[in-house]
Amino acid sequence: MPRLRQVPRAEADASVIPVYDLLFGDRDPVAQPGTATGTPGDWWTVFALVPEIFEHAVRGFALYRNPARALDAQLRELAQTRVGWARASQFVFSQHC
């Protein structure tokens, strides 16, 4: 359970809604939590408290996943999956397996 309040769909900034749609479909992620990978999704709903920080994080993921990166995407995902497994992080493992 996060220490900070989660942002339900009805209160989310317009810039957050496309990411909510991608991860949660048309569900309210606070009322009906859970992502397709088995995590609660509360990382996203808490970050949505500050839309500028949420957008910054999403832009960072876009940069990180850009095909122009020097590190091969398959090796990157394999490394992150392994780290998630080694640290028993369901969140990291499930996002990269």
Query: What rounded mean pLDDT belongs to the chain?
Result: 91
The residue ranges of every structural domain in the chain are 1-64, 69-97
Q: Are 34 and 25 in contact (CB under 8 A)?
A: no
Instruction: Please report which confidence band the pLDDT of residue 2 belongs to, taking 50, 70 and 90 as the band edges.
Output: low
Distance CA 79, CA 77 (A): 5
Least confident segment among 8-17, 28-37, 42-51, 85-94 = 85-94
Distance CA 29, CA 38 (A): 13
